[in-house]
Amino acid sequence: MVLEPDICVIGAGSGGLTVAAAAAAFGVPVVLIERGRMGGDCLNYGCVPSKALIAAGKRAEAFRTAIRFGITSAEPDIDFAAVNAHVRGVIETIAPNDSVERFEGLGVKVVQADARFVDARTVEAGGEAIRARRFVIAAGSSPLVPAIEGLDQVPFLTNETLFELTEAPKHLVVVGGGPIGLEMAAAHRRLGSEVTVLAAGEALARDDRELADVVLKRLRAEGVRIETGARVVRVGGEAGALKVHAERGKETLLVEGSHLLIAVGRKPNVDGLGLEAASIDHDKASIKVGRDLRTSNRRAYAIGDIAGGPQFTHVANYHAGLVIRAILFRLPVRTRHETMPRVTYTDPELGQVGRTEAEAREAGLDVSAITWPYAENDRAQAERATEGLVKLVVGRRGKLIGAGVVGAGAGEITNLLSLAVAKGMSLSDLQGFVSPYPTLSEIGKRAATAYYSPYAKKPLVRRAIGFLRRFG
């Protein structure tokens, strides 16, 4: 059988589902191909289960720190199997929104099989040939497993297997100091595990150091051991008794743990797609696309992780919106990854949008950095969440170049700052908006106000005010 839809979407993760649903809503024939679970990595192995686990850890920590509010603190009794049931329950609650039944109800033809291009305009999947007018490749990425001596001889976890655990690891060793590694380190520590993180370079290396250090200080205070500059060279042992060998300069580190989590990054799912047959250029890192997300095959687009660039669910959704505009309405589109926000969901959270101070200076921009502490915010004081700060990177004429937030609710505050950076707003715009009191978002407004405070002491400004006072 040959299917001839307008659009064939490969991959039913967040980006692919968005394209399929939007096209179907406009009455456009769509075939959606998925070889694994509907909802992709985000629903089943990534964002959803990880945030559910983090939420459980946060509740456990609330028991330990209740004394700050006049409530007796206690060490929580953690049933890890019940925690796992909570995580699975969250996935199962959301899953119907991404299910085959829902999308078939929308009018999408769903094929549950591997997809492979056989020529520039035909894909085979599940014994069917799909000859579409346009293809959207949204096949996502998988955990990157590095070439470490002995790793293939011992059991190890990735984000695709971590959430299957129903017993808390006695000692979780995390290889990788990025957002995924540190989020899971923090959650498991709060849920009763001993945790060691081995980072080959700096932990949270992409983030502003001043902000990242706040997160690392808290993690260490809660008992997470973080070893930076520690390159893992060999692993050994057996299930429940693993030995991880790392090198830091001339120093040798040996960490013994019960479980090993590999969290060093992700690789695009390009293998087996037959991209060569479709004349689609790619390498091990991504499918090559232009700013319009089109591949070297003009019939095909690539979105999300497989297209390179930032690997976040919201980026995949952003890409999906662009290709829908391009395919359905023939509108010109261009990606703008430079204003894409990101958040690490540790406690405190760490949000970033636009350039960091270091990135702006490396680019030769004349910038200043304005900070405002959480401790100066009334809501933060009321909730005993005074650890953190907002940092605004400011260019000429007060234009907001970038912003970072570390502290309680940093992800939510980043929403406002993301809009400001994306729209090219100045600090006067941030200063002028009305923020309800008391909210944490006031911290960004106060930081913007601080930028203009020196103007009050300028002699010219004072003389002008003095002159105007003469008129009553």
Rg of the chain, C-alpha, whole Å = 25
Top-level class of domain 348-457: alpha beta
To the question of whether residue 272 is assigned a binding role by annotation, the answer is no
Q: Is 87 helix (H, G, I), strand (E, B) or coil?
A: helix
User: Average model confidence (pLDDT) for the chain?
Assistant: 96
Model pTM score = 0.94
To the question of whether residue 179 is assigned a binding role by annotation, the answer is yes
Q: What is the pLDDT of residues 18-52, one digit of tens each?
A: 999 999 999 999 999 999 999 999 999 999 999 99
Distance from C-alpha of 170 to C-alpha of 167, rounded to nearest angstrom:
9
The CATH number of 151-265 is 3.50.50.60
To the question of whether residue 265 is assigned a binding role by annotation, the answer is yes
The token pair at 81 is 């199997």
The token pair at 248 is 């830091």
To the question of whether residue 183 is assigned a binding role by annotation, the answer is yes
Taking the CA atoms of 117, 123, 128 and 129 in sequence, report the sign of the dihedral they define.
Answer: negative
Ranges of each domain in the chain: 2-143+267-337, 151-265, 348-457
To the question of whether residue 207 is assigned a binding role by annotation, the answer is no
176 conformational bin, left if phi > 0, alpha if psi -120 to 50, beta if neither: left
Place of tokens 């703008």: 336
To the question of whether residue 201 is assigned a binding role by annotation, the answer is no
pLDDT of 1 > 90? The answer is no
Q: Choose among 120, 130, 124, 140: nearest CA to 298.
A: 120
- Predicted pLDDT at 284: 87
Between 63-67, 287-291, 466-470, the lowest mean confidence (pLDDT) is in: 466-470
**CA distances from residue 244 to 142, 153, 154, 161 in whole angstroms, order as listed:** 23, 13, 11, 19
Is beta strand 389-394 parallel, antiparallel or unpaired with respect to 225-227? unpaired
Mean pLDDT, range 147-152, rounded to an integer: 96
Beta-carbon neighbour count of residue 328 at 10 Å? Answer: 15
To the question of whether residue 176 is assigned a binding role by annotation, the answer is yes
2-143+267-337 matches 151-265 in fold: yes
To the question of whether residue 177 is assigned a binding role by annotation, the answer is yes
Q: Is 267 helix (H, G, I), strand (E, B) or coil?
A: strand
To the question of whether residue 284 is assigned a binding role by annotation, the answer is no
Q: What is the pLDDT of residues 246-298, one digit of tens each?
A: 999 999 999 999 999 999 999 999 999 999 999 999 998 899 999 999 999 99
**% pLDDT > 90, the chain:** 93
Cis peptide before 5 (omega within 30 of 0): no
**CA distances from residue 366 to 360, 392, 393, 396 in whole angstroms, order as listed:** 8, 14, 10, 7
pLDDT of 82 > 90? The answer is yes
Report DSSP state, residue 229.
S
CA 471 distance to own-chain centroid = 56
Partners of 393 in beta bridges: 369, 402
Q: Confidence band (pLDDT; 50, 70, 90) for 427?
A: very high
Distance from C-alpha of 214 to C-alpha of 66, rounded to nearest angstrom:
22
2-143+267-337 CATH fold: FAD/NAD(P)-binding domain (3.50.50)
